[in-house]
Structure 1
Amino acid sequence: MKLPDLPVRSVLPDVLSALDAHGTAVLVAPPGTGKTTLVPLALMSGDGRVVVAEPRRLAARAAAGRMAAILGEPVGETVGYAVRGDRKVSSRTRVEVVTSGLLVRRVQGDPELPGVSTILLDECHERHLDADLLLALLLDVRAGLREDLRLLATSATVASGRLASLLGDAPVIEASARTYPVSTAYLPPARGERAEAAVARAVRTALSEGDGDVLAFLPGAGEIARTSGFLHLSNVDVLPLHGRLTATQQDDALRPRDRRRVVLATAVAESSLTVPGVRAVVDSGLARVPRVDHRRGLPGLATVRVSAAVAAQRAGRAGREAPGRVYRCWAEHEQGTLPAYPEPEIRTAELARLALELACWSTPDGTGLAWWDPPGEGALAAGRALLATLGATSSDGTVTARGRRMADLGLHPRLARALLDGAEAVGARNAAEVVALLDTGGKLTDVDAELRRLRGANDDAARRWNREVQRLAKLVTGSGRPDPALIVALAHPERLARRRPGGEPVYLMAGGTAAELPPGSGLDSEWLAVAEATRDPGRVHGTIRLAAAADEQLATRAAPTSETDEITWADGDVVARHVKKLGAITLSSRPLKNPNVHDALVAGLKAEGLGLLKWTADGTRLRERMAFLHRTLGAPWPAVDDKSLLSDVDSWLDLSGIRRRADLANLNAGTALKALLPWPAASKMDELAPDRLEVPSGSHVRVDYGGDQPVLAVKLQETFGWTETPSLSGVPVVLHLLSPAGRPAAITADLASFWTGGYPSVRADLRGRYPKHPWPEDPATAVPTRHTRRRA
């Protein structure tokens, strides 16, 4: 067998020798070197089947087709492939190309992988979640069951040290690509210009400035369609290339033509596919990466800036066959701000499917496996919690028989649950139709209306939906009447929603979120099974994007209900009732007889404060005096601030017989507070913090303990003869010296200084206004009085 003269051919002997000697190896080779097509054919020399794991279905099919063409055979003979819903292999197949996810399922089914001698893990640098999991499982298999299983990992980047370490310090072989120089131009979008328009403008520039085909990178199928709409070119074919296309459409985009081509591609063309004839690359600078899709509650995709490594790979596509040019749709100064490498999916993606695979591998938390990067604890814990809710795992994380069946379906656990249970309830076809819709999303808000549209349409989306329905229906059995709402509810029981009273289209979902129907939705039902919902910043409620009309009977069939006694403090009073609930939705309620409301009362006091109690003037003064003594002397005098009193209500407040807010308002807090008085020290309270102080005039004036220091407000004439400032428990009393009319004339905590320093000016001011009152020149020796000089 003569292999094409591609750069990787020169290192094939080194690859084979490394595998023979070590059983593992890492091959670093840039795109275009032939690593995906020539290496598997070279590995056929040994016994057993060679399995090539590709991260994408399109790449798997394309790789198998190119290898079969090299051998001059149709696909399915020596070289075959298997992807979801499509398989071409035979008993003569020696090299089989599969997706990473499908190979994970095979390893789960039979970890010994009988008949397989070598596995090639292609494009490891892309760090897809299924690929990282597959690597971890295969390393476990090789360590415990198949020491003879050869593993070859390939990468387009030189950051291979960690990969080689995982493979047991595997040898690293590098192949260099024959590349041509690529010049770079930066064409950032104009102010307000959409990315698609900027890409279309760059494509026209590329066509005008050079020969050959143009390969443009965009984040997704939607952007590709919009960019195509901007390009009305004569004598140039504009072709899409992405994973949603049919096999025929994908092959058409990869096939050279007599006319010039513009291929609008997603990330599938970055490394694992070769698009011949390309002389120019247009890079939008954007990529679609896995993130949690909160709208659908399923794994989704988000648009982010590409990394520097990805930008370099994309640019390299222009220099495969001749000198080329790359047009980058961002400003040149932004190049230095790009992240070095893509973020691994295992750090950012929703991990429910990974959690299910780990449970099937008998390591629910992933311990014991060698990870390139371990899964995040929080995301994995959330995935494990969901599995338990769906019945896929038991309380200890062990996979159930139902969980294994869900994993075999190859769907997200939510959708697998909906398909399995839904098929039994409404029939396989009916369940498959709704699950396929939930997996891809719809255009209309009403699930029933969207299903009618898909059944009657003949566009690409409808055809893809129909193919997926047929595939899913074959996986399950069952018969029954159609009921889309039940299938939606089985996938998202926490999104069952009931309309709030008041007539507005606002619904409370079982998970506790409020959402409203958009105008013109066509839905008018008390209950909804919500499939998709969004929450825009600044809006009070979420927006329901896809839902089906439901009822309470369906809701209680799809989701568990609970009955409990609720005794709470709500809306300013004790609420005691027996309720039946579906999540946050109350289905029924009745009052409780003779409930124990103690905890609710305490919660009310903590929520609204001690002002709920009856505070008399005496009670307030007692609290202030106790606070002063605690602040001044400390133990045994207790703290009586709000926080301290509320932290242990039962230590001083007897709530027996109290039923509601009105009862609290009649509860004398001052009387209750006496329970905290520290006897026998409390016997000296009137000495340490007296309620009143006797002043030189003989009056007994009340002390104010409400501030940081005790305050005595007394008429100035009554303090004549007082030469020393009084103190309480070692704290000087602040004297508020009043005029005869009771207005403040001076404030002092040092009487001796006031008599000599401040008094003369006060005397001069007040003696003219109050001539009948005594204003002696020497107040320290004067006779104090409560009266004027002359009395009638």
Structure 2
Amino acid sequence: MIGRPVSPARPTARPDLPSLPVQEVLGDVVDALDDAGVAVLEAPPGAGKTTLVPLAMRDARWLTGRIVVLEPRRIAARAAAERMADLLGEPVGRTVGVTTREDKRTSAATVVEVVTEGVLVRRLQHDPTAEGIGAVVLDEFHERSIEADLALAFSLECRRAIRDDLRLLVMSATLEGSRVAALLGNAPVVTSRGRVYDVETRHEPVPVDADIGQATAAAVRRTLPGTDGDLLVFLPGQREIRRAAGALSGIDAEVLQLYGALPAAEQRRALQPVAGRRRVVLSTDIAESSLTVPGVRVVVDAGWARRPRFDPTSGMSRLHTVRVSRASADQRRGRAAREGEGVCVRLWPEHEALAGHAPPSIAEEDLAPTALEVAAWGTDVVDLSLLDQPPAATWEAARDLLLGLDALGTDGRLTDHGRAMADLPVHPRLAHMALRADRPQQRLAAELAALLGERDVMLGGDADLERRVRALRGERVGAVRAPTMTRVRRDADRLHRRIGGGTGAPLTDVGPLVALAYPDRIARSRGQRGVFTMAGGRGATLPERDPLAGEALLAIAHVDRGTTQARVYLAAGLDEAAVEPMVRVGDHVAWEGGDVVARRQRRLGALVLSESPLATPDPDRLLAALLEGVRATELRALGWSRSAQDLRDRLRHLHHGAAADGWPAVDDDTLLAELEEWLAPFLTRARRRSDLERVDLHTALMSRVPYALHGRLDEAAPTHLAVPSGSRIRVDYSGEQPVLAVKLQEMFGATDGPRIAGEPVLLHLLSPAQRPVQVTDDLAGFWERGYPEVRAELRGRYAKHPWLEDPLAATPTRHTKRRAAGG
């Protein structure tokens, strides 16, 4: 119930409607919409919200037009309309109507119209004022389809900007109502607690690697004898449903199938109980909440669902079989308790942790159609009232695709071509193909769009799309899915009427048309049968026995991401002449294979069709390639001379020293980040890696030193220091402290070591063999404590050199005793 008193003058129940749990809050829903204009209804499965709430809204004093009820699936829309019409004793099309892509039954008398979600989005795109609509009801919103998210966002914007009399009601079984209420502007939340029957929940785990269809069928056989009523069995997809149906052959019950692609008559059959005989209904998640399957007292739940996931880096989607969420599992279990106490058999361990809710579709699916809808609406996605914003990478990939299909201009706005694409009820890729096809090709384009918008019409076989077109035209080229073929023919006719055009294109045009829709999936053979590279850069494979495996070029339509290589499901052969208009000739200048390459290329995306050496590459691109090479090699491609390395070491010492002000950083990260500033001016004549090795890096590094500091460099960090013998010794700045490597005898007589900028230099005192015998910055201490031991050890080995007992009284020399004596 909502958190305010209900008027005692009017009962909440409607005696003209069935006595279902939601009856107790019907008045609250109508009043909430009267007061606030928006509301959220939380009601469990079986409460009756789908059929009773719209009927209860018909007589509301605030209603100014038709009540549009959005259902997430076509089968649910038809079932809801038929149930409401039956309650009124009328046929569908009078008070209650239905509109889906395939079915439209409405009249001037229609007050409640049940539609699939895309229908309302289309209407709002064509008429943002929602003329003739008084209320929008979004049913089963917890399923979180992209179309439902958009329908709610567009309706909210319409209500806030134009139609404050438009009522919005969001109904859900499991979604947290407070989030939706906040999105609606703190809308009142009405709660129906429903009729609660006990459900005995059993866990009968099966191995995760077991065949889902077979394992579920075995569980059904075990469950049937000890239970009453019909069984509703949840499986992830059609393949598992067919496998389970085969494994249940011969059981004492009628086995029925229920999924979206079934013909309407077969769907109705699964939804209607048969007196005197038990039924086993094998269903996808379509029966979780959108549909009521009467007579069910037992649920067998395999615990899996099939969800598409889009990869923005590859531009491909793949169906994944995933464990159901806790919310979905609870919905499924609730199906056993609609008419009385029931049983739910779960085929996974009781201790297994399930995610709370499945991710919303906007987080996982291809967003190109959504991006086109949002662009047609004329706003940025961040400005829409969405429960969840789309992932940035997926959204950017969708926008990039629309830009490549000329649906968006460089300013990001919808083009005239994009608006025409948005008006067609197919994926943007297929809309682009249909609109850009030549007039004689337009019938073939409509057929391809219909074929590619549905599941494969062929039962098995190869990947050849031409064969599908021949089958669509009535040729006997293999076994087909008859219901799917019927829908495809109807959709092709409908689309052809929309775009017009002729019918004279040969089947050899299939490949070029597919290439229009999927330019990034044009693929070239790698020279091995069935192995290709797509224009997007990813590899793709066909079985070697497939007739298309030997083609030099393919136009690929349906492909999954695969693991290491994409798997091709539908494609057509392609002549190189057909892709010539898509070929781009350009100069390729880059760092590759350890050097600069400069070539003129004929490219199709990532595919290089031909190339030739480029004699005069663009200087800016050449410079960019050289700098990229320097970055790729982390400065190792440069010719670091002794002079340049010494200067770099001196500058590094000064930058980190006590008087560091003004001295530039010369560490790898800084030099790499600032290549354009200090190195680029010295590469004006460089063309290849060998030229990098000849760059005057000493001068280039000095260009980083402020001019005012040039005269102070030798004073602040001298290259050499004089020692008592008169020698000038090079200072090594490569370590943390400057080092002077000097022969021990050259320091005789000195009590203090040399200093730079007042700081002591680290002395490496060398033997006559130029090996360090002592490392110290305390020379006086060495003479006192270390020298006696060194003298005792080395004077016999190096007898020609002076080893006076008193080093402070000795004359410093770099020579032997004989040379020092003038001998």
Answering whether residue 255 of structure 2 is matched by residue 235 of structure 1, we say no
Q: CA deviation at 1:247?
A: 0.7
- After TM superposition, the structure 1 = structure 2 runs for residues 144-155 of structure 1, keeping only pairs within 5 Å, are 144-155=161-172
Moved more, 273-282 or 203-212: 203-212
Q: CA deviation at 1:105?
A: 1.5
Instruction: Describe the shift of the 1:453–1:721 C-alpha distance in structure 2 as closer, same or farther (beyond 3 A).
Output: farther
* Alignment equivalent of 1:245, drawn from 262, 275, 286: 262
Answering whether residue 432 of structure 2 is matched by residue 421 of structure 1, we say no
- After TM superposition, the structure 1 = structure 2 runs for residues 262-273 of structure 1, keeping only pairs within 5 Å, are 262-273=280-291
Q: CA deviation at 1:726?
A: 1.6
* Alignment equivalent of 2:535, drawn from 507, 510, 513: 510
Give 3-state SS (helix, strand or coil) of 1:391's partner: coil
**Aligned 8 A contact 1:241 1:263 in 2:** yes
Letter in 2 for 1:473: D
Q: CA deviation at 1:58?
A: 0.7
**Aligned 8 A contact 1:578 1:592 in 2:** no
Letter in 2 for 1:475: L
CA distance in 2 between counterparts of 1:265 and 1:504 reads 40
Q: What is aligned with 2:8?
A: none
Give 3-state SS (helix, strand or coil) of 2:481's partner: helix
* Alignment equivalent of 2:523, drawn from 485, 493, 497: 497
Q: What is aligned with 1:274?
A: 292
CA distance in 2 between counterparts of 1:19 and 1:677 reads 73
Instruction: Describe the shift of the 1:63–1:621 C-alpha distance in structure 2 as closer, same or farther (beyond 3 A).
Output: closer
Moved more, 235-244 or 623-632: 623-632
| 1:671-698 per-position Cα deviation (integer Å, ceiling 9, x unaligned) | 6556566667545655554444443344
CA distance in 1 between counterparts of 2:511 and 2:409 reads 27
Give 3-state SS (helix, strand or coil) of 1:240's partner: strand
**Aligned 8 A contact 1:364 1:398 in 2:** no
Q: CA deviation at 1:428?
A: 1.4
**Aligned 8 A contact 2:376 2:414 in 1:** yes
Q: What is aligned with 1:259?
A: 277
Give 3-state SS (helix, strand or coil) of 1:497's partner: strand
* Alignment equivalent of 1:59, drawn from 65, 70, 76: 76
Give 3-state SS (helix, strand or coil) of 2:223's partner: helix
CA distance in 1 between counterparts of 2:360 and 2:760 reads 68
CA distance in 2 between counterparts of 1:688 and 1:18 reads 82
Q: What is aligned with 1:583?
A: 605
**Aligned 8 A contact 2:588 2:597 in 1:** yes
- After TM superposition, the structure 1 = structure 2 runs for residues 114-193 of structure 1, keeping only pairs within 5 Å, are 114-157=131-174, 159-166=176-183, 170-190=187-207, 192-193=209-210
CA distance in 1 between counterparts of 2:706 and 2:312 reads 57
* Alignment equivalent of 1:549, drawn from 560, 573, 587: 573
Give 3-state SS (helix, strand or coil) of 1:440's partner: coil
Instruction: Describe the shift of the 1:771–1:584 C-alpha distance in structure 2 as closer, same or farther (beyond 3 A).
Output: same
Q: CA deviation at 1:639?
A: 4.1
Answering whether residue 325 of structure 2 is matched by residue 307 of structure 1, we say yes
Answering whether residue 764 of structure 2 is matched by residue 749 of structure 1, we say no
CA distance in 2 between counterparts of 1:413 and 1:524 reads 30
Instruction: Describe the shift of the 1:754–1:170 C-alpha distance in structure 2 as closer, same or farther (beyond 3 A).
Output: closer
CA RMSD of aligned residues (A): 3.5
Give 3-state SS (helix, strand or coil) of 1:332's partner: coil
| 1:35-80 per-position Cα deviation (integer Å, ceiling 9, x unaligned) | 2223334444478544322111111111222233334444344433
**Aligned 8 A contact 1:206 1:214 in 2:** no
* Alignment equivalent of 1:529, drawn from 555, 580, 584: 555
Letter in 1 for 2:660: G
- After TM superposition, the structure 1 = structure 2 runs for residues 502-651 of structure 1, keeping only pairs within 5 Å, are 506-522=531-547, 523-537=549-563, 539=564, 541-557=565-581, 559=582, 561-590=583-612, 591-593=614-616, 595-596=618-619, 597-608=622-633, 610-632=635-657, 633-645=659-671, 647-648=674-675, 651=678
Instruction: Describe the shift of the 1:403–1:754 C-alpha distance in structure 2 as closer, same or farther (beyond 3 A).
Output: same
Answering whether residue 379 of structure 2 is matched by residue 353 of structure 1, we say no
Letter in 1 for 2:149: D
| 1:275-318 per-position Cα deviation (integer Å, ceiling 9, x unaligned) | 12211111222233453267994666543333322222211111
Moved more, 711-720 or 444-453: 444-453
* Alignment equivalent of 2:49, drawn from 32, 35, 48: 35
Give 3-state SS (helix, strand or coil) of 2:414's partner: coil
Give 3-state SS (helix, strand or coil) of 1:333's partner: coil
So what's the TM-score if we normalise by structure 1?
0.88
Give 3-state SS (helix, strand or coil) of 1:64's partner: helix
Q: What is aligned with 2:12?
A: none
Q: CA deviation at 1:185?
A: 1.0
Letter in 1 for 2:368: A
Q: What is aligned with 2:342?
A: 324
Q: What is aligned with 1:471?
A: 491
- After TM superposition, the structure 1 = structure 2 runs for residues 35-114 of structure 1, keeping only pairs within 5 Å, are 35-45=49-59, 49-114=66-131
Give 3-state SS (helix, strand or coil) of 2:50's partner: coil
Answering whether residue 348 of structure 2 is matched by residue 333 of structure 1, we say no
Moved more, 617-626 or 216-225: 617-626
CA distance in 2 between counterparts of 1:434 and 1:469 reads 11
So what's the TM-score if we normalise by structure 2?
0.85
CA distance in 1 between counterparts of 2:731 and 2:137 reads 89
User: Runs of 4+ in structure 1 displaced over 6 angstroms?
Assistant: 293-296
**Aligned 8 A contact 1:296 1:533 in 2:** no
Letter in 2 for 1:573: D
Answering whether residue 407 of structure 2 is matched by residue 392 of structure 1, we say yes
Q: What is aligned with 1:716?
A: 744
Instruction: Describe the shift of the 1:158–1:102 C-alpha distance in structure 2 as closer, same or farther (beyond 3 A).
Output: closer
Instruction: Describe the shift of the 1:207–1:296 C-alpha distance in structure 2 as closer, same or farther (beyond 3 A).
Output: farther
Instruction: Describe the shift of the 1:392–1:684 C-alpha distance in structure 2 as closer, same or farther (beyond 3 A).
Output: closer
Q: CA deviation at 1:324?
A: 0.9
CA distance in 2 between counterparts of 1:631 and 1:150 reads 69
| 1:551-593 per-position Cα deviation (integer Å, ceiling 9, x unaligned) | 3332244x4x544444433333333444443333345545243
Instruction: Describe the shift of the 1:31–1:650 C-alpha distance in structure 2 as closer, same or farther (beyond 3 A).
Output: closer
- After TM superposition, the structure 1 = structure 2 runs for residues 286-305 of structure 1, keeping only pairs within 5 Å, are 286-292=304-310, 297=315, 301-305=319-323
Provide the aligned length of Structure 1 versus Structure 2.
Answer: 784
**Aligned 8 A contact 2:305 2:324 in 1:** yes
Q: What is aligned with 1:740?
A: 768
Moved more, 128-137 or 161-170: 161-170
Instruction: Describe the shift of the 1:773–1:189 C-alpha distance in structure 2 as closer, same or farther (beyond 3 A).
Output: same
Q: CA deviation at 1:203?
A: 1.8
| 1:205-237 per-position Cα deviation (integer Å, ceiling 9, x unaligned) | 321321221111122222222333333442122
Letter in 2 for 1:584: A
CA distance in 2 between counterparts of 1:24 and 1:682 reads 74
Unmatched runs of 5 consecutive residues or more in structure 1? none
CA distance in 1 between counterparts of 2:93 and 2:754 reads 106
Q: CA deviation at 1:376?
A: 4.9
Instruction: Describe the shift of the 1:121–1:642 C-alpha distance in structure 2 as closer, same or farther (beyond 3 A).
Output: closer
Give 3-state SS (helix, strand or coil) of 1:4's partner: coil
Q: CA deviation at 1:111?
A: 4.0
Letter in 1 for 2:374: L
CA distance in 2 between counterparts of 1:182 and 1:470 reads 44
Moved more, 247-256 or 432-441: 432-441
**Aligned 8 A contact 1:236 1:260 in 2:** yes
Q: CA deviation at 1:245?
A: 0.7
